[in-house]
Chains A and B, each alone.
Chain A
C-alpha cells in the first residue's frame, strides 16, 4: 500500500514538474506591480518623479501620470512595448548624463529585467497591498499534510493557523522551529505580555505544578480575565492617544482627563469589540442617547494640547489641535502617514492635498476653541445630583417637553453650546485678558458676531468682576444699535466666576451683539471691571405655572451653577454655530483656499451607505469591513506587543514607505478573522497568538537561527525583548511586594527627584502621593508633557506631545543608573530583601528564593555563586560599618542589621539583571 502510494506520488511530482517547465517555457511569469515594480519605483525613481517633484514632467505615482507624454515629448512607458519606452532606454543607457537614476547608481540587471517584463506585460498598475480590501486567506498546508500521505515536522509542530503561516517561511529558509520554552519561562513571558506584571503566586503555582494538557490554556484564560490585563493594554494605547495630565506648551498646566484612561482600562477588560472601541473614541458623543462613558471615550481626541501662553492666537492653536486629530487618527488607527498631505499631495501614497482638508472637516466643526478651561467639558455630578438631574429630566418629559429636556440635559452636563468670550472682537477700550477672556473697562465695547436669537429669551452667562456695580448692555447690530438688554450688576464683587441669568425680549434672526460696559465707580480708565467667560442664549425654562415647576427650576439652577469634576470631551457645533473648513494653501493655516466638506480619500473604501458626514460617519468608515487599514493596523500592533516587532516593522506606516511585511498573508489572515469571525475581539486575537507554537518557542539563539536570521524575522525562535518603561517599574514593585493593586483613579505622584518641574508662569508642584498611591502601576503616574517622569523617559517612554505608534528600544548607561540608583528601585530592593529574609533557611536559600520570585525559575548554581559572593562582600563591609548598614537597610533600629543590608545589595542586583528587565 505504502509502496504503491509512493509510486503515485513520484509520478504526480514528475507530471507537475514537467507541466511547470512547459508553462515557464512558453510564458514568462507575470510581474506583480506591488511586490516587484513599486518597490523599485519607490527606491529609485520617486524622489524626483512623483508627488511634489515631477522632473521632466514624469511621475510614477499614478498610472495616468506615468503613461502620459513627458516633457521631452516622448512616452516613458508604452504598455506592451518596452523597446519604445523611454524609461527602459534611459535605465539601460551608458551615458552618465542620460542614464537614470540621474547621477545615482544604475539599476541592477535584475531590476531592469523586472521593469522590462512589466511593460511588456502591459504595465498594469496595482494597489499597494495595505490599501486593498481584505479577502479571506487560505491557511497554507504544511509539508506533513501533503495529500495527507507523508507525516512531517511542520504539521506536528503547528498548534493553530498562525503556525502554518510561520512554518511555511521557516521551512523556506531551511530553518527549524525552536523547542517549546520551559514552563517557568513561558509563565513569566505570557504573564508580562498579557497583564504587564509577573504572575500572582497562586497562578504561578497552579501552572508550574499542574500537568494537565490544558494547563497553559487555563493560565492564558486567567490572565486575560485579570483586571490587570486592561491596565497593560491601556498603557500601550496612551502613547497612541498622546495622553497626558497637562495641557502642553509653555505653562503646561494640569488637565483632569484621567477618566479617559480609566475608560480605556474598562474597555480592554470588558473586551469591548475594537470597532466599538474606536467608534466611541471617535464619535461617542454622537451616538444616540450617548452615556457619560461614551462621552468620556471621546476625550481620546481632547488629549491634544492647549496653549495657555499669554498673547497666543487661540485660532492658531485650535487649528493645530484639529490637525493633530487628523494625524493621530491616521497614524494610530489607520497605520498610515497622512501628515505629508497637509502641505502637498502625497509623494508616495495615493492621497491628495485636498483630501487632507476634507478629512479635517470631520473634526473641524467641534466646539473646542483652545479655551483655558478646555471647554467643552463633561460635568460629572455625584450620585445625589445625578438623580436630581434624572428627576428633572423626567419631570420635563412628563410635561411634554421632549426637545427641551434634551437641551437642558445637555446644557447642565456640558454648559454647551455657549459662545466663548474669546470669540469677541472689535474692541473699544477693552481686550481679551491674557488672550483668554473678554475684560471690560469703563467705558468699553466689544462685538459678539452671528448670534441666532430666534425664540431665545434667556441669557445665561459666566462672569467675574474686578469692581462692584456697573452696568452692561447688549445692543443689536451696531455699537449704538437698539438695546436688547441692559443689566445692572449687583454691588458685591465676584472675584471668582459666577453664573448669571437674564430674561431677554423676543427677537428673531441672526445678530451681531455689541456688548458695552460702564461703571462710574472705576476712576482709572485702564482698570478692568467685568470679565466674561461665556454666553448662552436659550429658550426659557419651560413649564411655568405647572405643578412642580418651582422645585424643578430650583434644581435646574442649582445643578447649573454647581462646581463639579469634569473631563474634556468632543462635541460638535449646533448648526447655527457651524464652522466651515478650507484647504490651507501649502499647509499654511492663514492662507485659506477653497471651502471643502467632510469626505474620506477616494482611493480607499467609500463612506458606508447612510453614514452621516460627521465623526459618527467617520467612525462607521473606519470600522467598516471594507476599510483595508483599521484591522491590519491593530493586528500588527498586537503582534508587536507580543513578539517585539510587528509583522510590518513600521507600526506607524503600512503605506508604501513603511517596511515590507515579513508575513503579509498571516497579517491578512488574522485581520480578516479579527473582523469577520471574532467580532473584533482583542482578547480572542491575543489568545490565538499566545496559544500558537510560534509564541511558545524558546528564545535561545542556535547557531543556525542566530546566523541566518539575526533579527528573528522568520520566528524560528521567540525574541528576547527588553521590557517597557512601565513594565520595568511595575515588575520591580510587584516582586518586592510593594505594588498597589488599586485600579483606576486620578493620576498619582510617586517619588521623583527635586527640580524636575520648573514650567514658567505655572505654580504647580509635584507633591509626593501618600500611602499605597506611592506604589501604583506606572500608567497612573502623573504625566507632564514638558517634564515627564524621568525614569520612564530613560527607558524609551515618549513625551506624549503627539501620537507615537511605536517606541524604539535603546540600551544606554543612563538606564542602568535608574535601576541601580533611583530611590524607587532602592525602596523596592529594601522591601524585596525583607521579603527574602522572611524565607526559611540560610542565606543561600533566601537568595535562591528571591531569584525564584523574580524569575519564576530555580537559580543555577553559578548564578547563585555570583550573588552569594556579592552578599559576602557586602556583609563583610556592613559588619564593620554601622552607619552604612543603617543607610542601606533603611528600616528601623531593630532590623537594620548587616545581613539585611547585604541582602538589599543583592536585591538591588537582581532588579538589575538583564534577564529580569528582559522578557525571554
Chain B
C-alpha cells in the first residue's frame, strides 16, 4: 500500500514535470521567436488535430510543427519506456520454457491424426514424428519456474519475470505473424507499437529519436521495416533504425571536411536567413524549422554519444557479454539500456536467425537454437539486473518473445525428413516473458496441454499483449485511437484485453 502511494506520488510529480517542460518549451519557442508578436505563437500552438474529423475525448493532440513534443498519457503510467526483444524466426518454447516430460515419451512416434486433422502447417505434410524436448529442464528461483539449460544465466532471474505460456496467434508465416505482433494486424499498413507510443507520448529527449530500432543476426525481420513503420500515422512516428556499423543514425555525421564549429556556423547562417524569412512572411512554420535545425545539431552530438558503448566500464561489457565493433544482439541490448536511460520511449530489438526448421545445423533445435541462446542469454539477463541496479526496472518494461511457437512434431518438409532436428511454425501455443514496468514478478500465467501442442488455460493473443503494454504506459487501448479512412483505428484493432493476471 505504502509503496503504491509512493509510486502514485512519483507519477504525479512526473506529470507536473512534464507539464512544466511543455511550459518551458513554449517559453523557449517564444524566446526563439526573437520577440515577434504573440500572433505567430498563437497560431503555432493552435495547429493541431490533423486527420481527425471528429476529435472526440480520446483524440491525441497532434501538432505537425512539433509532432514529438512530450505529451501525458490518458492515466498515470507504471512504465515510462519499453524494450521489446524480438527473436525473429520464432524460438522454440518447448526447448526453453514450456517443459513437457510427456512429450519425451512420445519422441519418435508417429503424430496422432487428431493433432493433424483440419490443421495447416507451413511445411509439415503427411504424418510427422513427435519430437521430445532437446534441452534439459530444471526449476529455478523461489517461483520454481522451469527453464532449460539453454538459458543458464536467465535461469537466475526468473523471480523478476512474468511468463505468458499460452500465447496464441492465427498467423503461421513469419511476415504476417510479426506484423500481428508489432502492428496488431497481419497485413501491411498499420502503425507499429512504437509508433503508437511516440504518437501518444511524444519523446522525452528531443536530442534523440523517441522510437529506436536495433537489428542483429545479419538480416532484417521477415516483415522488413514495416514492423517498425508508422502505417497511417504520420511518418515522423516510425522507428528510427540505429546502427552499430556506419552512421549510428542515418545522415547523423557531418560530411568529411566539416567540423563541429563549421557546422555550427552553417546552421547559424541558415537560421539567420530563416529569421529574415520569418520577418517577411510571419509563417510560424519557419520558427519550427529553426528549432528543428537546432535540435538536429544537438542530436548529432547526443546520438553518437549514446550509441557508443565503448565508454561503458569493463564490468558492464563483461556482464552483457558484448562484442564491441560487431552488430550483435548483446551490444544492442546494452545500447537499449543506454537509450532508455536517456529518455528514449521505445527500443525495439530484432535478432534474426531463430527459425529452427532443421534444414541446416545452424537452424536445428539441438545445435542452432542452443547457439542462438548463447548469444542472447547473458545479455538479456544483464539487462534486467542492470536496469534493476540503476533503479530503472520499475519504469522500464522488458518484453521477450517471437512471432509464434514451434510444433511438438519433428518437421518433415514436403513429406521428406529434414537433415537435422527441427520444428515447424506453430500457432497454438508459445511463450513470451515480460519484466519490470509494473509487471508482476515470478509469475507464470497460462498453461498448455501435456505435450505443449495447444493452450488449455490463460490463453492470450498478440492483441492482449499490446493492450497490456499500452496499459502499462497509461493508455486504455480501446480509447487510444487515430482517425483514418473515416473511422477511429487502434493498435489492438477490434480485440485485445489487458492481461490483469500479470499486472502488479
Contact = CB atoms under 8 A, between A and B. Distances in A.
Are chains A and B native binding partners rather than an unrelated pairing? yes
Given A658-B486, A913-B273, A812 B67 contact: yes
Contacts of B266: 820, 870, 874, 905, 908-909
Given A813-B292, A821-B253, A914-B286, A720 B220 contact: no
Contacts of A427: 125
A655 B54 CA distance: 13
B40 A706 contact: yes
5 contacts: A249-B176, A311-B122, A343-B494, A785-B188, A914-B290
Interface string B273-297: 1101100111101101110110110
B21 interface: no
Interface stretch (B42-50, B70-78, B157-165, B376-384): B42-50
A309 interface: yes
Instruction: Sort A-B residue pairs by CB-CB distance and give the 7 closest, nearest first.
Output: A786-B224, A311-B122, A888-B257, A887-B257, A710-B43, A657-B486, A816-B296
Interface stretch (A208-216, A412-420, A796-804): A796-804
B487 A347 contact: yes
A348 B486 contact: yes
B257 A310 contact: no
Does more than half of chain A's interface fall in helix, strand or loop, or is it mixed? Answer: loop
Nearest to A702: B282
A710 B42 contact: yes
Interface in B306-345: none
Interface string A831-861: 0000000000000000000000000000010
Nearest to B264: A873
B277 A914 contact: yes
A252 B283 CA distance: 42
A877 B243 contact: no
Contacts of A909: 266, 269-270, 273
A348 B122 CA distance: 40
A808 B245 contact: no
A522 B45 CA distance: 75
Given A309-B173, A884-B257, A796 B234 contact: yes
Contact of A650 (B43, B51, B270): B51
Contact of B225 (A753, A787, A908): A787
Interface string B138-163: 00000000000000000000000000
Contacts of A364: none
Nearest to A323: B187
A755 interface: yes
Given A43-B54, A787-B224, A877-B259, A817 B486 contact: no
Interface in A751-778: 753-755, 758-760
A706 B43 contact: yes
A791 B229 CA distance: 15
Interface stretch (B23-31, B105-113, B413-421, B454-462): B413-421
A869 to B, nearest CB: 7
B188 A905 contact: no
Given A339-B485, A863-B273, A249 B219 contact: no
A250 B222 contact: yes
A361 B71 CA distance: 46
A867 interface: yes
B226 A786 contact: yes
Contacts of B187: 320
A802 B189 contact: yes
A529 to B, nearest CB: 13
Contacts of A343: 494
A150 interface: no
A699 B276 contact: no
A60 B223 CA distance: 41
B209 interface: yes
Given A526-B417, A913-B277, A755 B120 contact: no
Given A817-B252, A901-B257, A914-B289, A340 B486 contact: yes
B495 to A, nearest CB: 12
A52 to B, nearest CB: 10
Contacts of B245: 754-755
Interface in B341-359: 352
B300 interface: yes
A701 B281 contact: yes
B446 interface: no
Nearest to A799: B229
A657 B53 contact: yes
B486 A42 contact: no
Interface in A132-166: none
B304 interface: no
Contacts of A168: none
A108 to B, nearest CB: 16
A45 to B, nearest CB: 12
A201 interface: no
A760 B90 CA distance: 14
Contact of A337 (B68, B265, B417, B486): B486
Contact of A753 (B250, B256, B276, B485): B250
Q: What range describes how many residues of A lie at the interface? A: 35 or more
A658 B53 contact: yes
A890 to B, nearest CB: 8
Interface in B153-193: 172-176, 187-189
A51 to B, nearest CB: 10
Contacts of A339: 485
B235 interface: yes
A808 B50 contact: yes
A43 B56 CA distance: 8
Interface of B: 37, 39-40, 42-43, 46-47, 50-51, 53-54, 64-68, 120-123, 125, 172-176, 187-189, 206, 209, 215, 218-226, 229, 234-236, 238, 240, 243, 245-247, 249-259, 261-263, 265-270, 272-274, 276-277, 280-283, 285-286, 288-290, 292-293, 295-296, 299-300, 352, 414-417, 425, 483-487, 494
B255 A310 contact: no
Nearest to B280: A700
Contact of B258 (A711, A759, A790, A905): A905
A339 B232 CA distance: 14
B283 A722 contact: no
Interface in A888-906: 888-889, 901, 905-906
A755 B235 contact: no
A512 B246 CA distance: 58
Nearest to A904: B257
A481 B250 CA distance: 64
B360 to A, nearest CB: 13
A320 B189 CA distance: 13
B224 A759 contact: yes
A727 B47 CA distance: 24
A289 interface: no
A604 B14 CA distance: 53
A305 B285 CA distance: 37
A817 B249 contact: yes
A309 B175 contact: yes
A653 interface: yes
A885 B257 contact: yes
A429 interface: yes
A429 B415 contact: yes
Interface string A792-836: 011011110110000011111111111011110010000000000
A860 B278 CA distance: 13
Given A820-B254, A863-B273, 10 more contacts: A250-B223, A655-B486, A657-B53, A700-B282, A703-B39, A755-B245, A808-B50, A813-B206, A905-B258, A913-B270
B186 to A, nearest CB: 9
Contact of A787 (B220, B257, B270, B274): B220
A112 interface: no
A426 interface: no
Q: Which of B120, B222, B274 has the most CB of A within 10 A?
A: B222
A820 B295 CA distance: 13
B285 A798 contact: no
A870 B261 CA distance: 11
Interface in A697-727: 699-703, 706-707, 710-711, 720, 722
